[in-house]
Structure 1
Amino acid sequence: MPLTTTTPGADGPRRRRVLAGGAAALLTAAGTAVLAGCSSADAGAAEHSSAAKRLRERAGRDAAALLERYDATIAAHAPLAARLRPLRAEVARHAEAFGSAKASPSPSASPSAPPVSVPREEKAALAALADAERRTADARTSALGQAPPELARLLASVAAAGAAHAYLLAGGAA
Structure 2
Amino acid sequence: MDNLEVNNLYLTTREDGQRCPVAIDTDYDTGEQHKRQKSAPFYAFNKQNYKAKVQLGMEEPVANSILEFFVSEMDGTNAICISMKALEKLFKLKRNAISKHIKVLVKRQFVEVYKSGNQNIYAVNAFIVWTQGDASLSKAKFSATMYLDFDEQTSIIKRTYTKQVDTKKINGGDDER
TM-score normalised by the chain length of structure 1:
0.27
Which is richer in helix? Answer: 1
Greater CA radius of gyration, 1 or 2? 1
TM-score normalised by the chain length of structure 2:
0.27
